[in-house]
Structure 1
Amino acid sequence: MPAVISCDKMMVRCSALALAAGLLAVPAAAWAQQVTADPADIRVIGHRDPEGLLPDQTDPKAVSAISADFIVKQAPTLNAFQLVNLLPGANVASSDPYGLSTSSSLTLRGLGQDQIGVLLEGSPQNDIGYYYAYPSQFADAENVKQIALAQGSVDIDSPTVGGAGGLLSLTLDDPKATRQGLVDLSLGSYDLRRVFVRVDTGTIGNTGLKAFVSYSNTRADNWRGAGYDTRQHVDAKLLREWGNGNRASLALSYNDGNTSAYPSPTLADWQAQGRGFNHDARYTAGNTNYWRLYRAPFRNLYASAPVHVTLNDRLTLDSTTYLQFGYGNSPYGTELATTGNFLGSEELAQPIALPGAVDGVATVLGNYTGDQMRTGNVSKLTLQAGIHRITAGLWFDYGTDRVAQTYTAVDADGDPTDRWGYRSKAIRTADGRLLAYENQRTVTVTKAFFLADSIALGPRLTVDAGFKGVNLLRNGRNYLPGPQTRVRKDSFAALPRAAIHYALDDRQQIFANVTTNFRTPNEFTLYDSYAGGVVSTRGTDALKNEYSVSQELGYRYIGPSLSLSATGFHYKFRNRQLATVVDVGGAQVNSTLNAGGQTSWGVDAEIDYRPAKGVSVYVSGEYLRARIDDDLPVGGDYLPTRGKRAVSSPTVQIGGGGTYDDGRLFGSIAGKYVGRQYATFMNDESIKGYATLDLSVGLHLADWIDGKRTDLRINAINVTDPHVLAGVQSVSTNARDVVGRGGTVISGSAPAYYIGSGAAVIATVSRGF
């Protein structure tokens, strides 16, 4: 962070030096000033941001961030979604205090996590099929240098599709220049046990290479209900830097988890059972709610290789190549009969063999498996030509997604014979075919080009203009017998954008931007679904792409002891897409609802005050007004939804906290209030607002021992332990029966919710060597 400086003798010298230090956000190459000063004339005033909660920003858009200084004081198990919970617009619904379960969500300005691009070291982390990202699989917190959250848009060169909600970018810590290591040991509530070990090689001989590798192992009982979670994780990074800012790196992140899917109640379930709405601790014959039938094993490998090369004094090249592999199962308990089965539209004449069947019926594990591979590259050239900084680039992405809903036998104790749901071990028909509710493979190819120009019209004014063209092609095959064999959808979107940035003085900035985004329907909308041998949901390639236009107008103040940012925003959507989950014949099926048009506007704000060295007070807030523009078509009628509030869009959110670190004692406090959230388009069901509070306290012990880093900290998560519903897990059109515009009765269906996590305490010892 640039130092904030003052001058004892000459105010002119002070202003010029502050300008040269980079406090203004205009491209320096066009108008940088050369200033010299006697060091005796300069003194440092104010207090630097000790936690990186509001780092200096110069982008012409809303950006918030947290740094390693803040992350290291939090509970070491927290995932990236939980860590950004304090930032404006971030609504995190976590059903697990430790961040291990996949039963969680993040919305930004009312837009869900399938609308938020996620990058790790420049490589996309979103699922290629339906755009979700899973934070429990991301890098360990000890290795994260910064998490940046752009609430309103993605960068023009970001390799993401569907970023109307914004961009979450994780940057890994660079390997250290000297050989060293770090060990973290943690114990906590619900029998939590965690170990983390990191080793840095330092600079390796004369190669200029340096690297780190880390390993963590975490185990914790479920905080409610039976079961436990395990997670093993490996991060590694290899870095080479050479003259004039050139650098090349390779980052790897591997995750092996087996976590519990906490059941999501309806409002009626919650009112009747509260936190007692859980999976069963013991198995009895015919029981499909046994906890071992709901443990989700996943393995993922992410690799990213970003390169930055200065080709000459005006031209640079940036290129990131990435590769991903992933396989996992999201299982559930169900019953299967030996007769009366269908495979797609085909009725099976011969009975199937079911181990443990009683009177022709057996409890089985319903598997929902995904086998993904994704690779791609995004490259750009940046040319400084006078007042112009011109960027041109290409993005190519190729991904495959093999999805199957199959069935696996369960033994007499309720244990699945294969928890991974491998097709080779699944139940088959009498003639040897795979018995499946879904069975498909999709290839997604994304190609994009982008061109942008940043024009420095003076020492304070910069104007940006850009254009991105994106083509997304899906080719797939449905392996189930029936009328559908091949699917295909080809989409192209033109995405212009513009921005302006003006530095009022050496402290204040204003900015404005206009950004466009699009998203194709997820891959599952292309495929037929079957129930009882007939098509229950018709796959289609005719669904329109979501398209949005957003605007922001913002103000920043960057002071020696006080920084603040406020951004007004406005969105206009066409064909707003909302993901949900529906139950079809006992199987959980991903579905997408077209909510038509939507208009949203509001204000985000954050303030960071540093009254003394090592002390930071932070407050954030958001006001959001999100309204549905159209009546929603349901069957042959229309729900009267025009003017209703958008789902999962709380009107008010307020976050606040403080940190303290005097070099010996440190601690933090963080609270968040989230307002009422609607779960249906008709606004006939909602959950109340709620608040959470986290605390931490710790000691730096290095000076008392041998000078090497030794920290002891205690983190208390959700200390007030409110018994609340934390967010909407699956939306519905209407919870109660409604008379449509055409006079027909449209039956209601109940939404489902996340139960807010309970309180937990973690003690951690960190030791460097």
Structure 2
Amino acid sequence: MKIRKIYLVLLGTGMMGGAVNALAADTGTVDVGKVTVIAKSKDSGQMVQEDAAKARSTVTHDALVKQTGTANGIDKLKYTPGVSVASNDETGLSGFKFTMRGMSGDQIGVTMDGVPVNDSGNYAMYPNLLGDPENLEEVFATQGTSDNDAPHIGSSGGNIGLVSLRPTKKFGVFAKQIFGSNDLTKTFLRLNTGNINGFQNYISMSHTEADKWKGAGKLKANKVELNSLWQNDGGDSVSTIIKWHKQENIAYVTPTLAQYQKDHKFDISSKMQTCKAGNGATYMCGSYYKESQNPFENITASMTSRFHLNDSLLLTIAPYYYVSNGGGAGSYVQNLNNSSNKGGIYDLSNLNSRTDYQQDGVLTSGSYYRPSWTETWRPGITTKLDWAINEEHNLQVGYWYERARQRQSKPYVTLNSDGSPSTIWANYDGSHQVKDANGNTVQGRNYFTVTPAQKLFLNDTWNATADLTLFGGISYSHVQREGHNRGSLYDQPSNPSASYSRFLPTGNVKYQINNKNSVFYNISENMRTPQNYALYNAGDSISTKPEISWNNELGWRYQTEMTSMSATIYHLAFNNRQVSTKNSSNEYILKNIGKVVNSGIELELGGKLPYQFNYYASYSYTKSEQKNNITTEGITLPTKGKQVAGVPKNILNLILGYDNGTYYGSLADHMVGKQYGDMTNDQSIPGFSVFDLSLGYRIPYTFMGVKKPVVRLTVNNLFNKNYLSGVDSTTFASKKYSNNGKSFSSAPQYLIGEQRSLELSFEASF
């Protein structure tokens, strides 16, 4: 097949990147860089040779499959420099928190095959959006730069991309069965159709379930994924990827430090709590795990098409659609009566008083399951044109548009006699929802937000010499927030709106010193649009300014066939940091707490040793400094110069592995420094060191049609250490601060690290 001019130029500039190995899986980034695995199957797989003029780390498929089989794509970045991940458990289905270079997960853009999967309203990242890890080709992180063409409106800096496996040209079946601690089971099946009239396809299905490792309740999830790729001899391709997920989980409850010190397996009560009314009647009170639900269903669909218009022009058209439905609650709600009707739009005369409910002799009357429910419809499209002007210059111009619609509600759902919700799918069946005297569904929140977002971008890559490459780009981002508060128990109807626009430049330079050493410098500006809650929160939240960040990074790489090393120093300053909190009236507000500067160093080393041994190490030092004191409820808190809560200054990962092609094994030590729970740095959790073990046997025999059978064993937290792994919810101050008769304090909540867990998996191809 003729190698076209545009391929030569793109490969030379490093813009093909993952497209060489995942042609139809658009990462949503520009200037990705050439990727070359440093060894075939004998290295750790945690590090590849990068060619981009920016910090970037990639975890390959070989490393992904050696980690915990059920862990999701973000979990599998836990050894990556600059990244700190804390999860509720190892199932990959529960909540997690992560930071990257001091930025929280809702400040980092995440794409799945080019589709943005952060929440369109508050930018949170949920594990249910990340698909089956068995279908991942790689996971990468650009630690400081949200790429110029990336489809994000909520990234202050940094991007994480998940790239799916390509369908194979041959027919085949891949099956995997996992058994683990806490009655964990996962069954996964993938069917490759092979080449059918130019199309390569696979469909996969999985079912996962487990008991929570602490507290009562189960986790259940089903997934179906379809991946179809068409390509011709001229290099044109169309890739269609559809992922469906549905879960019904009991959520974990996160403790304060005092609660954890009292009980290392703190969680919500496994038994219904009851109290006695004045007349002696028994009624439900206290927390109960059956109300701590987290149901969710979502579909992501994308179609990425690449067409060579001529030898110098490549057109990419990538429409996508994301739809989701779900939510959850941590406890039941009581006391729904006329005194609750602060918005004044309901007639609650058909409901009894709290005292009447408590004394009527019915255990659950007057008590309701009230989930925080979210429905999202999110179509979008990215189009771009790559023009190889000559051997030195490649020009890229493109446009991204998205129109997200999101409905956020809080219906009141009746309870069964055992205290469980009459339905956990709160918006499916109105018969379970509480109605007022006029038949209106009572809502504790009722927002509908439309967010049209668009971005124009222009980039130029200039190969000035054989060793010197320069890149410059600029994008124009415009975001509109159109709010519709439809009225609730607490709000009158209103239609607030806000818009945000900005030109965002980026540039970098890379110099290849020799065939082993290279250096780069990268600078970029990023914008994070305020969350949609700015439209509805109290006070002047709607005037909140976008977070604006400037990222500077200087790096060096040393790369040979046996060894790869990298070192990056960075300085990331951003203004108008946004924090959601409450005012003295217990109303939510979005607060601007000023400037934060993140600076540090990231080191990465990987390679092969004699006798089929391999190694990997990464170290991150992150100074995340608040530059302003924070004033809340009339009290000025001493936050200036303090470390941002939830950001460890030091993280060190060490991995020693062995892989001879048949047997493999590795021992990893994950060391994380102390983390503050509040912005005044008055409370912290100690650092920890956790060891993980991975063993595998690739059976070198084929029998009865079974090919490539593999047995894998992973042990997480090998020495069963009790520890707090991260901060779940930060506060301004855990210590009491007072002024003019007022005082302020609030206890942070933390994630508990899971005790020792094992997973044994069996997999084979047919």
TM-score, normalised to structure 2, is 0.89
Other-structure match for 2:304: 306
Matching of residues 239-388 of structure 1 within 5 Å: 239-282=229-272, 284=274, 285-337=283-335, 339-346=337-344, 350-353=348-351, 357-359=357-359, 362-386=366-390, 387-388=392-393
- Partner secondary structure for residue 271 of structure 1: helix
Establish whether residue 636 from structure 1 lines up as the match of residue 634 from structure 2: yes
Other-structure match for 1:88: 81
Matching of residues 492-571 of structure 1 within 5 Å: 492-528=501-537, 537-538=538-539, 540-571=541-572
The 8 Å contact of residues 676 and 689 in structure 1, kept in 2 or not, is answered as yes
Count of equivalent residues? 718
What per-residue deviation string (whole Å, max 9, x for no partner) do you get for residues 558-577 of structure 1?
11101011110001111112
Shift of 1:319: 2.0
Residues 350 and 403 of structure 1, relative CA distance in 2, 3 Å threshold: closer
The 8 Å contact of residues 617 and 659 in structure 1, kept in 2 or not, is answered as yes
Residues 147 and 349 of structure 1, relative CA distance in 2, 3 Å threshold: closer
- Partner secondary structure for residue 375 of structure 1: strand
The 8 Å contact of residues 314 and 383 in structure 1, kept in 2 or not, is answered as yes
Matching of residues 580-599 of structure 1 within 5 Å: 592-599=590-597
Other-structure match for 2:757: 760
Larger mean CA deviation between 589-598 and 309-318 belongs to 589-598
Other-structure match for 2:427: 422
- Partner secondary structure for residue 332 of structure 1: coil
Residues 443 and 167 of structure 1, relative CA distance in 2, 3 Å threshold: same
- Partner secondary structure for residue 429 of structure 1: coil
The 8 Å contact of residues 157 and 526 in structure 2, kept in 1 or not, is answered as no
Other-structure match for 1:485: 494
Other-structure match for 1:214: 204
The 8 Å contact of residues 128 and 399 in structure 1, kept in 2 or not, is answered as yes
- Partner secondary structure for residue 346 of structure 1: coil
The 8 Å contact of residues 737 and 745 in structure 1, kept in 2 or not, is answered as no
- Partner secondary structure for residue 509 of structure 1: strand
Larger mean CA deviation between 729-738 and 442-451 belongs to 729-738
Other-structure match for 2:58: 65
The 8 Å contact of residues 334 and 367 in structure 2, kept in 1 or not, is answered as yes
Shift of 1:660: 2.2
Residues 326 and 344 of structure 1, relative CA distance in 2, 3 Å threshold: farther
| Residues in 2 aligned to 1:538 and 1:730: alpha-carbon distance in whole angstroms | 23
Shift of 1:123: 0.8
The 8 Å contact of residues 258 and 298 in structure 1, kept in 2 or not, is answered as yes
Other-structure match for 2:686: 688
Shift of 1:198: 0.4
| Residues in 1 aligned to 2:396 and 2:165: alpha-carbon distance in whole angstroms | 27
Unaligned 5+ segments in structure 1 are 1-19, 29-44, 529-536
| Residues in 2 aligned to 1:100 and 1:113: alpha-carbon distance in whole angstroms | 17
Query: Which of 435, 438, 444 is the equivalent residue of 2:442?
Result: 435
Shift of 1:283: 5.8
The 8 Å contact of residues 346 and 440 in structure 2, kept in 1 or not, is answered as no
Other-structure match for 1:16: none
Establish whether residue 125 from structure 1 lines up as the match of residue 113 from structure 2: no
| Residues in 1 aligned to 2:582 and 2:516: alpha-carbon distance in whole angstroms | 48
Unaligned 5+ segments in structure 2 are 1-7, 17-36, 275-282
**Aligned amino acid, residue 407 of structure 1:** Y
- Partner secondary structure for residue 341 of structure 1: helix
- Partner secondary structure for residue 253 of structure 1: strand
Shift of 1:464: 0.9
Other-structure match for 1:10: none
Residues 234 and 347 of structure 1, relative CA distance in 2, 3 Å threshold: closer
The 8 Å contact of residues 239 and 304 in structure 2, kept in 1 or not, is answered as yes
Larger mean CA deviation between 639-648 and 568-577 belongs to 639-648
Other-structure match for 1:710: 709
Shift of 1:344: 4.3
Establish whether residue 137 from structure 1 lines up as the match of residue 129 from structure 2: yes
**Aligned amino acid, residue 329 of structure 1:** G
Other-structure match for 1:5: none
| Residues in 2 aligned to 1:686 and 1:46: alpha-carbon distance in whole angstroms | 39
Matching of residues 567-578 of structure 1 within 5 Å: 567-578=568-579
The 8 Å contact of residues 13 and 461 in structure 2, kept in 1 or not, is answered as no
- Partner secondary structure for residue 541 of structure 1: helix
The 8 Å contact of residues 26 and 503 in structure 1, kept in 2 or not, is answered as no
Shift of 1:281: 3.9
Establish whether residue 411 from structure 1 lines up as the match of residue 420 from structure 2: no
Residues 669 and 287 of structure 1, relative CA distance in 2, 3 Å threshold: farther
- Partner secondary structure for residue 543 of structure 2: coil
Other-structure match for 2:668: 670
Larger mean CA deviation between 667-676 and 228-237 belongs to 667-676
The 8 Å contact of residues 14 and 52 in structure 2, kept in 1 or not, is answered as no
Establish whether residue 146 from structure 1 lines up as the match of residue 145 from structure 2: no
| Residues in 2 aligned to 1:508 and 1:411: alpha-carbon distance in whole angstroms | 67
Other-structure match for 1:738: 737
Other-structure match for 2:469: 462
Shift of 1:154: 2.1
| Residues in 2 aligned to 1:46 and 1:405: alpha-carbon distance in whole angstroms | 51
What per-residue deviation string (whole Å, max 9, x for no partner) do you get for residues 658-684 of structure 1?
332212212222221111111211111
Other-structure match for 2:3: none
Residues 253 and 584 of structure 1, relative CA distance in 2, 3 Å threshold: farther
What per-residue deviation string (whole Å, max 9, x for no partner) do you get for residues 358-410 of structure 1?
33763221111001010101111111123221111101000111001121111
Shift of 1:590: 7.4
Other-structure match for 1:187: 179
What per-residue deviation string (whole Å, max 9, x for no partner) do you get for residues 106-148 of structure 1?
1101111101111111111111000112123312111100101
Residues 84 and 362 of structure 1, relative CA distance in 2, 3 Å threshold: same
Other-structure match for 1:236: 226
Other-structure match for 2:25: none
Residues 210 and 229 of structure 1, relative CA distance in 2, 3 Å threshold: same
Residues 22 and 281 of structure 1, relative CA distance in 2, 3 Å threshold: same
- Partner secondary structure for residue 534 of structure 2: helix
Shift of 1:595: 2.4
Residues 245 and 762 of structure 1, relative CA distance in 2, 3 Å threshold: same
Establish whether residue 748 from structure 1 lines up as the match of residue 745 from structure 2: yes
**Aligned amino acid, residue 759 of structure 2:** I
- Partner secondary structure for residue 324 of structure 1: strand
What per-residue deviation string (whole Å, max 9, x for no partner) do you get for residues 592-627 of structure 1?
443210111100111002114753200001011111
The 8 Å contact of residues 102 and 623 in structure 2, kept in 1 or not, is answered as no
**Aligned amino acid, residue 234 of structure 1:** V
**Aligned amino acid, residue 557 of structure 1:** Y
Shift of 1:713: 1.2
The 8 Å contact of residues 297 and 330 in structure 1, kept in 2 or not, is answered as yes
What per-residue deviation string (whole Å, max 9, x for no partner) do you get for residues 36-66 of structure 1?
xxxxxxxxx9954634321111111011011
Identity of aligned residues (%): 27
The 8 Å contact of residues 399 and 455 in structure 2, kept in 1 or not, is answered as yes
The 8 Å contact of residues 272 and 287 in structure 2, kept in 1 or not, is answered as no
